[in-house]
C-alpha cells in the first residue's frame, strides 16, 4: 500500500459532520451525526485534496494523517531497495524484498483479522 | 467429577470428568509456590532453559493457542507482531489482562485468586518469548490483587521471577478490560479504550510494543512449555485446540466454573451442570457480547468455529442459560440497559446508539412499541456495527440483532402486549447473570 492513510479518533469526534461534507467517500455519519471511516483509511491520490480539507476543517482535530511506521512492509521495502542502490558491487547487495514480503505473510493474516474483528461476534470482546 | 467449593467465591468449580485439569485444580484455597512447583513442575528454570525464545514461540505457533479474552486471536501472531516492532530498538512490555469487566464471567478472577503462580509463570514465559523486560498484571478485583501480590513476593524471594512485575489495580468497569484500556490505565490515564490504530503491539505501555494477553491465555503457557504443542493439541479441535474455562450461569442452577475441552457438545455441558435440555430456551453467548442463541444452540459444540457457524461466538467462555421462565426480551432489555449505562461515554455512536436501542427494548419489555420502533432497532443493529473505538457497541448490536432474529415470537408477543411472564414479574436485573453477585448472595 502506498499513499496517504488517515485515522479518525471516534473518542474525539463531536459530530460536527464537516469531514463527511468535505470528503463524503471517506466518512459516514450516524443518525446523531458522529463520523466513522468508510474504508480502511487509505486515500486515493486524486482524493487527497478533499481529505486534506476534511482534516483541516475538523473543529476537534479528530482526523489525522497516519505516518507509515518503520516496521511496516512498505517502509521496509523502501529501505531494502535503498540498500541495493547504495552499495553496488558489494556482497551486501542482496535484494531483501522477497524476504521482507515473506516475513509479512504470517502477519498479514493477523492484520486482516485485526481490521475486521471488531464487528464480528466471537472475534473480539472487551475481556 | 472433581468438585470443590472455591473459598473466596463460593461458586462450584469442576473439571470435565475424564479430563486432566490444566487450568483448574480440585484442591481448595490459594495455591502456594511449593504446591505449584510440586504439582505442575512450575517455574522450571531460572530462564526459559533449553528452549530459546524462538523455540517457545514456535511451540505456541504449533499449538495454535488462541486468546481467551474473547477475540480468540492467535497468541503467536500477536507475539510475532510485538517482536517485529521491537526490532526497531524498543524493548517490549507484557501485560496480563485480568480485568474481567464481563459480569457473567468469573474465570480470570478465579485463576488470579487461586492459582496466581500459574498466571505469573505464564506471564514470565510470555515475557521471555517477546524479550520483555517488564511485566504488568492489570486487574480490578481486590482479592485477586492481594493473591497476586503475595505470590509475586513468594516467587521473587525464591528467585523464580526473572523480571519486575508491577500490579496495576483499577476500578472495575465493563470497558476497562479492553486491551487499549489496560494500556491507557497503566500509562496513567483513565481505564477506557482508545481508538485504533495504534494497537498495543505498535505503541502500548510507555509507547513500547506491548503484548496484552488475557490471564487464561497466559495460564496455558506453562503446560505448553512443559509438554509441547503435540500434547497440548491432544485435547480440543484442530482450530480451537486445548481446554477452556467456561463460566455457566442461569438455567435455575447456581453458577459454576468448568474446564472443558474445546469441541465438547453443549448438551454434555448441560448434563454436567444439571440442566435438562428441554428446559433451555436459549443462551446468551460470550457473556454479554455475542448475543442470544435459541434452541439451535443445543446441538452446537463448544468451539469457536461452531459458534461462528451459528452467527454467534464463544467469546470469553461465559454461557448464560435462559431457562423456561426467562423472557428473552426482558433479558435483552436488561443487558442493553447495562450497555447504555456502562459504556465508556466516549464515542457518540456508542453512547447515543446504546441509549436509543435500550429505550426501544425497555419499551418493548413493557409492551409499548410500534413496528416503526422495531424497524429502527433493526436498522441500528445493522448500521451501528463497527462504529465504536472498542467493541461495546458491537456487543449491543449483536444483542439487538440476535433478539430480533432468534426470538421473533417473543418480540411479537410483546408488541401485542401479551407476555404473561413479563406482565406479572418484570425481569429488571441490573446485571443479569452476574456471577459474583449471585455467588455471594
**Would you say residue B48 has pLDDT above 50?**
no
Residues 6+ apart with CB under 8 A from B190: B184
- Closest chain B residue to the Cα of A117, Cα to Cα: B71
- List CB contacts (< 8 A) between A30 and chain B: 348-349, 352-353, 383-384, 387
CB under 8 Å to B294, separation ≥6 — which residues? B281, B282, B406, B407
Structural element, H or E, at residue B123? helix B116-130
ipTM for the complex?
A: 0.89
> Tens of pLDDT along B120-157?
999 999 999 999 999 999 999 999 999 999 999 999 99
Query: If pLDDT is split at 50, 70 and 90, which confidence band does B325 have?
Result: confident
How large is the average pLDDT for residues B339-363? 97
**Cβ neighbours, 10 Å, residue B41:** 14
Contact A103 B84 (CB under 8 A): yes
A120 touches chain B (CB under 8 A): yes
Does B16 have pLDDT greater than 50? yes
pLDDT at B7 (0 to 100) = 42
CB contact under 8 A, A34 and B202: no
Cβ atoms of B73 and A110 within 8 Å: the answer is yes
Q: Is-contact B279 B132, C-beta < 8 A?
A: no
Q: How confident is the model at residue A116 (pLDDT cuts 50, 70, 90)?
A: very low
> Quick check: B23 and B216 in contact, CB under 8 A?
yes
Closest in A107, A110, A127 to B69, CB measured: A127
b/e for B96-121, b at 16 or more Cβ within 10 A? Answer: bbbbbbbbbbbbbbbbbbbbbbbbbb
Reading phi first (left if > 0) and then psi (alpha if -120 to 50, else beta), residue B72 is in: left
Q: How far apart are CA A80 and CA B5, in angstroms?
A: 60
How many Cβ contacts (< 8 angstroms) between chains A and B?
163
The pLDDT of residue B54: 78
Inter-chain touch A125–B386, beta carbons under 8 Å: no
The arithmetic mean of pLDDT across residues B69-85, rounded, is: 93
3-state secondary structure (DSSP) of residue B261: strand
Q: Where are the alpha helices (DSSP H) in chain A?
A: 18-22, 48-57, 73-86, 97-116
The C-alpha atoms of residue B247 and residue B277 are separated, in whole angstroms, by 18
Per-residue pLDDT tens for A90-109? 555 556 777 777 777 756 65
The nearest CA of chain A is from the CA of B299 a distance in Å of 18
Instruction: Work out the percent of chain B whose per-residue pLDDT is above 70.
Output: 94
What pLDDT score was predicted for residue B314? 96
pLDDT of residue B27: 84
Between chains, do A36 and B389 touch, taking CB under 8 Å as contact?
no
Higher-confidence residue: A111 or A94? Answer: A94
* Residue A36 at interface with chain B, using a CB cutoff of 8 Å: yes
- The answer to whether the CB of B64 falls within 8 A of the CB of B233 is yes
Task: Inform me whether the pLDDT recorded for A120 exceeds 90.
Answer: no
Are B275 and B30 in contact by the 8 Å Cβ rule? The answer is no
A34 touches chain B (CB under 8 A): yes
Smallest CA–CA distance from A122 into chain B, residue: B313
Predicted pLDDT at A70? 76
The packing angle between helices B392-406 and B408-415, to 10°, is 80
Q: What DSSP letter does each residue of B179-239 carry, written as one string?
A: HHHHHHHHTTS-S----SSSPTTTS-GGGS-EEEEEHHHHHTHHHHHHHHHHHHTTSB-SS
> Are A11 and B346 in contact (CB < 8 Å)?
yes
CB contact under 8 A, A117 and B71: yes
First to last CA, chain B: 25
Do B81 and A110 make contact, defined as CB atoms within 8 angstroms? yes
Is A122 part of the contact surface with chain B (CB cutoff 8 Å)? yes
Q: Quick check: A9 and B285 CB within 8 A?
A: no
Amino acid at each position: 500500500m502506498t499513499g496517504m492513510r488517515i485515522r479518525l479518533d471516534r473518542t474525539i469526534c463531536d459530530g460536527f459532520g464537516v469531514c463527511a461534507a468535505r470528503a463524503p467517500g471517506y466518512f459516514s455519519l450516524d443518525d446523531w451525526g458522529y463520523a466513522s471511516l468508510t474504508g480502511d483509511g487509505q486515500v486515493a491520490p486524486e482524493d487527497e485534496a478533499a481529505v486534506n480539507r476534511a482534516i483541516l476543517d475538523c473543529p476537534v482535530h479528530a482526523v489525522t494523517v497516519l505516518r507509515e511506521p518503520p516496521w511496516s512492509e512498505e517502509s521496509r521495502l523502501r529501505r531494502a531497495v535503498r540498500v541495493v542502490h547504495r552499495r553496488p558491487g558489494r556482497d551486501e547487495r542482496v535484494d531483501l524484498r522477497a524476504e521482507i514480503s515473506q516475513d509479512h505473510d504470517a502477519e498479514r493474516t493477523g492484520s486482516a483479522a485485526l481490521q475486521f474483528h471488531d464487528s464480528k461476534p466471537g472475534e473480539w470482546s472487551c475481556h | 467429577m472433581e468438585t470443590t467449593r472455591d473459598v473466596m467465591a463460593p461458586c462450584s468449580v469442576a473439571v470435565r470428568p475424564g479430563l486432566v485439569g490444566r487450568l483448574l485444580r480440585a484442591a481448595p484455597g490459594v495455591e502456594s509456590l511449593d504446591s505449584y512447583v510440586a504439582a505442575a513442575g512450575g517455574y522450571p528454570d531460572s530462564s526459559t532453559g533449553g528452549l530459546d525464545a524462538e523455540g517457545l514461540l514456535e511451540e505456541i505457533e504449533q499449538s495454535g493457542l488462541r486468546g481467551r479474552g474473547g477475540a480468540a486471536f492467535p497468541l503467536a501472531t500477536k507475539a510475532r507482531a510485538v517482536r517485529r516492532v521491537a526490532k526497531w530498538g524498543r524493548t517490549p512490555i507484557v501485560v496480563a489482562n485480568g480485568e474481567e469487566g464481563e459480569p457473567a464471567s468469573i474465570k480470570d478472577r478465579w485463576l488470579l485468586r487461586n492459582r496466581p503462580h500459574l498466571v505469573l509463570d505464564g506471564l514470565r514465559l510470555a515475557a521471555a518469548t517477546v524479550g520483555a523486560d517488564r511485566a504488568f498484571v492489570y486487574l480490578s478485583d481486590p482479592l485477586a490483587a492481594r493473591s497476586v501480590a503475595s505470590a509475586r513476593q513468594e516467587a521473587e524471594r525464591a528467585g523464580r521471577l526473572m523480571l519486575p512485575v508491577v500490579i496495576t489495580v483499577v476500578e472495575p468497569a465493563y470497558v476497562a478490560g479492553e486491551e487499549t484500556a489496560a494500556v491507557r490505565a497503566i500509562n496513567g490515564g483513565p481505564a477506557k479504550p482508545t481508538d485504533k490504530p495504534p494497537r498495543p503491539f505498535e505503541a502500548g505501555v510507555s509507547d513500547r510494543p506491548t503484548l496484552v494477553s488475557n490471564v487464561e491465555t497466559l495460564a496455558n503457557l506453562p503446560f505448553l512449555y512443559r509438554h509441547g504443542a503435540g500434547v497440548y493439541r491432544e485435547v480440543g479441535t484442530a482450530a480451537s485446540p486445548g481446554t477452556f474455562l467456561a463460566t455457566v450461569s442461569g438455567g435455575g442452577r447456581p453458577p459454576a466454573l468448568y474446564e472443558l475441552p474445546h469441541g465438547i457438545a453443549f448438551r454434555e455441558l448441560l448434563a454436567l451442570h444439571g440442566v435438562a435440555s428441554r428446559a433451555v430456551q436459549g443462551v446468551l453467548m460470550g457473556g454479554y457480547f455475542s448475543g442470544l442463541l435459541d434452541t439451535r444452540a443445543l446441538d452446537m459444540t463448544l468451539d469457536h468455529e461452531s459458534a461462528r457457524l451459528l452467527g454467534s461466538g464463544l467469546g470469553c467462555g461465559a454461557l448464560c442459560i435462559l431457562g423456561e421462565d426467562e423472557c428473552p426480551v426482558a433479558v435483552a432489555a436488561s443487558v442493553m440497559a447495562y450497555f447504555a449505562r456502562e459504556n465508556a461515554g466516549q464515542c457518540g455512536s456508542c453512547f447515543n446508539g446504546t441509549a436509543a436501542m435500550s429505550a426501544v427494548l425497555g419499551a418493548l419489555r413493557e409492551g409499548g412499541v410500534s413496528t416503526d420502533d422495531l424497524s429502527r432497532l433493526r436498522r441500528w443493529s445493522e448500521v451501528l456495527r463497527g462504529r465504536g473505538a472498542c467493541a461495546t457497541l458491537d456487543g449491543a448490536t449483536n444483542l439487538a440483532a440476535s433478539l430480533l432474529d432468534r426470538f421473533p415470537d417473543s418480540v411479537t408477543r410483546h408488541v401485542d402486549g401479551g407476555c404473561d411472564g413479563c406482565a406479572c414479574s418484570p425481569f429488571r436485573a441490573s446485571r443479569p447473570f452476574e456471577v459474583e453477585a449471585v455467588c455471594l448472595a
